[in-house]
Structures are given as C-alpha cells and as structure tokens.
C-alpha cells in the first residue's frame, strides 16, 4: 500500500513554526516512501476561515518547498459529512443534546469541585421523546455528540509514543456538530482520512486523546456501512504523535505571530535553514546545516523521535542560517544580490554573511566609497610604498604582500592590517586575495595613495 500523509491546517490564521514542523514531517514521511502528500484545508468553520489565509498557507508551503500531490477543501465535502452523520445516526452512535454552553460550564465546575474529571454526564440520553420535542418546541436546537463505546479500551501502537491505551469511560462523548448545523473537527477529519486513503497520521501529542476518539468514529463508520470508494482505503491509518515545540521560556504560543514565514523572511532566514532545523529537532539525530533535502529525507525516521518537548531556539536558527548561506551557490541567490555582483563577488563575501541580504553591505567594499582610518606617518609611508609596488597578475594580493614583506621587513598584523584598512576601511572582512581583484587595479592603487596622503 502506498504511503499517504496529509497536512490539514485551518485557514483561521497564518502558519507558525509548529504548523510548519508538522507539515514538513508529513511531507518527508511521504517523500521517503515514494508516497503522496495531501494538503487538506480544514475550512468548516465558516465564521473564522478566510480565503486570504488559504492563499497565505499555500504561499508559505511553496516558499518552503513543501509541494503537495493533491489538495482538498472540507467546505466542498459537506454532503459527504452529512452521509456519514446519517449512517452513524441510524446505528444510534449520535445523539442530540440541548444544554447551553453556560449549563455545560456549570456542570464542569461542579465535577471539578468534587475532584472528578469534567466529563459529559450523558444527561441528554435520559431525555424522553416528549422532553426532546418540548425543548425543540421552545426553539432550542440540539447539538450532536458521538456516543463512545465504553465496553473495551481504545488501544493502538503509536509510531513515536509506543503502545497507547485509553479508557473511553474517562473521555467525554465529543460534540461533532453544532446547533447551527456546522461541523466540528472530529468526524469530518475521520471521514476525510477514510476517503483520501490516508495511511499515516503524524501530528502533535496534543491530539493523542483525539486519536482515541477518532479510532472509535472510524470503527463505527465501518460498522454502519460507510466506506471509501476504494477498498484499500478502508483500513485504519497508523498514528504517531510527536512532542510539541517549546521555547526558552516554555510554550511558544504567546509568540507564534513572530515565528511564521513572514517573520522568517523579514529576518533573512533561508527556507533551507528552517527545513534543516525542524527536520531533526526533537530527534536523536544531530541538527546540522544540511541544505540537501534528499539527504534529510533519506535519514528521516520516526524511531529517532523522542518523547521530551523539542526546544526551538531562534539563536540556533540564526547560526544554522549563516552556515547554510555559506553553502548557497551563486545561481540560487543571484536574483537577490546587489547590482554588479557576479559569481566571484558572491564567493568573496559569502563566508562573512549571516544572511544573503548582508551581501550589499560587504559589496560596498568593492564599489565604495570607503572611509579609511587615520594612519601614523610610518603607516602612510608603508602604504605609499604599497601603491608603488602594486602589480597586477593572477594573484595581486600575494604579489603585493610578498614584495612589501621583502622591502619593509613587516609581517603578520603589521603587514596586512594597514593594507586592509586602506583598501576597505575595515579591520576585518572577506579574503583580500578574492576581494582585491574585484576592486580592480586602478581603484586599489588610488585607495592606497589616498590613505598614504
């Protein structure tokens, strides 16, 4: 059976680093197996879903290079959810409830006050037909819950967490449909996984209890005769739940707005850096500046994932980004470089960059103007000699420094630093052997002469 994974964001906001990690791991899981990666837009919440967020999600995934093989929209599958709902209703696995949100909150507080888990008490199941009719006559529209089977535990072998067992009696019967007829997450997601033949569901550990519920919904749908068009798609997916990301101070939730693709782009973070970090964050494999995605995919393994929270540190991302930038070929960045910078210029400045945008500042050393420091009279005489001895050839820097070494007796810092300062106005920077040919003979001689004067 072909591996099929899915990423199912709700278009109620922008992607943040946690979403990106989930998308990446599902993409890698599918690509390693030669399978399919589905993008499913979970837009059943019509009030909060926005088309602008759909476009932004797709643009961010494209920028990251996470291509999808198929796209679905839940809003176009409402009839399918109605069919599943009817099947469950016919077998008694869905029941109407009439409590208001305020009434349910009071019940929860009472249970918590008694030291009990805040589980729905199934009071609606005790209503008679007459009592239900009376409530609806009052204009109270029901919401609908899925009736969990309490007879046996829910168990599965999790791809990361190992054997998982839940006592369904310790779970609330989940609301699957609101009083206004709109759908909540539980049933539509299960129906989609059946219809789309999803074989592996990989998501955050905050969904573990959802998985327990959805396994029962999946089983109940099959028992009710609801099946996907393809028989191969009627098998329960395998599940894996990865540890959530945390920051230095704990949860990332308060800062997610600054941890999205827009913020990363503004900071000059390369998509390859984000991929390299998130691909292995939380695993036993080392996080390394690997720009080759094929290499990352080849080593992707759920068995390497740990149970401890994965720490996301922006400083780690910055360091990784600098290392990735130092690997980027000219063709990958040429459209983003300052005017006039060719491949030789890129190779000269690349080792000094933390981000590609920094190239403009270093390129100024070639194009000028520069401001050299004040030199001592001894250094001015030394620079005047340098202007006289400058000779152009295959390696003018080596020729110049060797000639100056012979005539001045200088070496080390005394030999090189005044030259760098006169030619670039800085104490550090790109390799002068690469930079000097870019400055050019005439400009280099003029800069030395000006510094000497």
Please tell me whether residue 407 adopts helix, strand or coil conformation. helix
Annotated binding residues, as ranges? 254
Per the listing, tokens 């996301």 go with 312
Q: How far apart are CA 374 and CA 422, in angstroms?
A: 10
- pLDDT of 352 over the 90 cut: yes
Q: What is the pLDDT of residues 289-317, one digit of tens each?
A: 999 999 999 999 999 999 999 999 999 99
- pLDDT of 248 over the 70 cut: yes
- pLDDT of 431 over the 60 cut: yes
Query: Whose CA is closest to 308, among 240, 245, 251, 259?
Result: 245
Handedness of CA 109, 112, 118, 121 (dihedral sign): negative
Distances in Å between the Cα of 348 and the Cα atoms of 92, 225, 290, 351, 429 are 72, 67, 22, 7, 10
Q: How far apart are CA 423 and CA 439, in angstroms?
A: 9
Per the listing, tokens 């030394």 go with 382
Q: What is the pLDDT of residues 117-152, one digit of tens each?
A: 999 999 999 999 999 999 999 999 999 999 999 999
Q: What is the pLDDT of residues 21-42, one digit of tens each?
A: 999 999 999 999 999 999 999 9
Domains, the chain, with CATH or none? 330-366 (no CATH), 368-452 (1.10.10.350)
Please tell me whether residue 120 adopts helix, strand or coil conformation. coil
Beta-ladder partners of 238? 200
Q: What is the pLDDT of residues 155-187, one digit of tens each?
A: 999 999 999 999 999 999 999 999 999 999 999
pLDDT at 27: 98
Q: How far apart are CA 330 and CA 315, in angstroms?
A: 26
Q: In terms of C-beta density within 10 A (0-12 exposed, 13-18 middle, 19 or more buried), how is residue 43 classed?
A: buried
pLDDT at 259: 86
- pLDDT of 257 over the 80 cut: no
- pLDDT of 229 over the 70 cut: no
pLDDT at 29: 98
- pLDDT of 60 over the 60 cut: yes
Residue 374: CB atoms within 10 A of its CB come to: 8
Split at pLDDT 50, 70, 90, the class of 247 is confident
Q: How far apart are CA 338 and CA 367, in angstroms?
A: 11
- Edge-first strand order for the sheet with 250-251 is 250-251, 245-247, 310-311
CB 412 within 8 A of CB 427: no
pTM of the model: 0.91
Query: Whose CA is closest to 64, among 276, 295, 326, 331?
Result: 276
pLDDT at 383: 97
Q: Mean pLDDT score of the chain, rounded to an integer? A: 94
Annotated binding residues for ATP, as ranges? 254
């Amino acid at each position: 059976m072909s591996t099929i994974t899915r990423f199912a964001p709700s278009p109620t906001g922008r992607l943040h680093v946690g979403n990106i990690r989930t998308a990446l791991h599902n993409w890698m899981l599918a690509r390693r197996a030669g399978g399919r990666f589905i993008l499913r837009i979970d837009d059943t919440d019509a009030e909060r879903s926005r088309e602008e967020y759909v476009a932004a999600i797709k643009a961010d995934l494209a920028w990251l290079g996470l291509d999808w093989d198929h796209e679905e929209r839940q809003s176009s599958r409402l009839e399918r959810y109605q069919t599943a709902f009817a099947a469950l209703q016919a077998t008694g696995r869905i029941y109407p409830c009439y409590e208001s949100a305020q009434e349910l909150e009071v019940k929860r507080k009472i249970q918590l006050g008694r030291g009990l888990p805040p589980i729905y008490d199934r009071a609606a199941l005790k209503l008679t037909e007459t009592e239900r009719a009376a409530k609806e006559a009052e204009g109270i529209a029901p919401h609908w819950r899925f009736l969990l089977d309490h007879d046996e535990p829910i168990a599965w072998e999790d791809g990361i967490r190992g054997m998982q067992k839940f006592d369904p009696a310790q779970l609330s019967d989940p609301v699957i449909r609101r009083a206004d007829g709109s759908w909540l997450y539980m049933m539509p997601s299960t129906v989609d996984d059946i219809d789309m033949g999803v074989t592996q569901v990989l998501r955050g550990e905050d969904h573990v209890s959802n998985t327990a519920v959805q396994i029962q919904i999946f089983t109940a749908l099959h028992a009710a005769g609801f099946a996907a068009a393809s028989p191969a798609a009627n098998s329960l997916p395998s599940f894996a739940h990865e540890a959530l990301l945390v920051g230095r101070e704990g949860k990332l939730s308060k800062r997610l707005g600054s941890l999205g693709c827009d913020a990363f782009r503004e900071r000059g973070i390369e998509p390859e850096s984000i991929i390299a970090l998130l691909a292995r964050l939380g695993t036993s494999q080392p996080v390394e500046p690997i720009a080759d995605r094929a290499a990352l995919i080849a080593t992707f393994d759920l068995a390497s994932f740990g149970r401890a929270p994965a720490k996301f540190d922006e400083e780690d991302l910055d360091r990784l980004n600098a290392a990735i930038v130092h690997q980027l070929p000219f063709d990958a960045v040429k459209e983003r470089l300052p005017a006039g910078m060719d491949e030789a210029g890129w190779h000269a400045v690349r080792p000094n960059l933390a981000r590609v945008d920094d190239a403009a500042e270093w390129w100024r050393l070639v194009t000028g103007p520069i401001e050299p420091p004040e030199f001592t009279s001894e250094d001015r005489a030394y620079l005047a000699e340098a202007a006289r001895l400058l000779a152009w050839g295959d390696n003018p820097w080596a020729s110049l420094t060797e000639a100056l070494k012979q005539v001045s007796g200088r070496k080390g810092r005394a030999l090189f630093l005044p030259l760098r300062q006169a030619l670039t106005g800085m104490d550090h920077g790109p390799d002068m052997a690469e930079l000097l040919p870019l400055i050019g003979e005439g400009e280099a001689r003029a800069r030395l002469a000006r510094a000497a004067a």
